[in-house]
Amino acid sequence: MNNGFWTRRRWLARLSFSFLIIAGWLFWTGYQGGVNHTLSPGRSTLCYVAGFMALSLFFMGTRERHRGD
């Protein structure tokens, strides 16, 4: 398996924890925007969708990091 510097596997594994932090921030922003009415409902939903996308990238990166070759 090619595991060079520019491969997707390497960068997903390396940045997986960063995606978790971004997902948490997006979920918090969407929640606070909905509670305080500082965001419209559409933007709050968009924060949740982006948070779930970042969370899925975290899970993909964790799987690549712990994959045995």
Mean pLDDT in residue range 42-55 = 97
SS3 label, residue 45? helix
Task: Report whether pLDDT(29) > 90.
Answer: yes
Residues 6+ apart with CB under 8 A from 32: 38
pLDDT confidence tier of residue 66, bands split at 50, 70 and 90: confident
Task: Report whether pLDDT(39) > 60.
Answer: yes
Return d(Cα 22, Cα 5) in angstroms, integer. Answer: 23
SS3 label, residue 5? coil
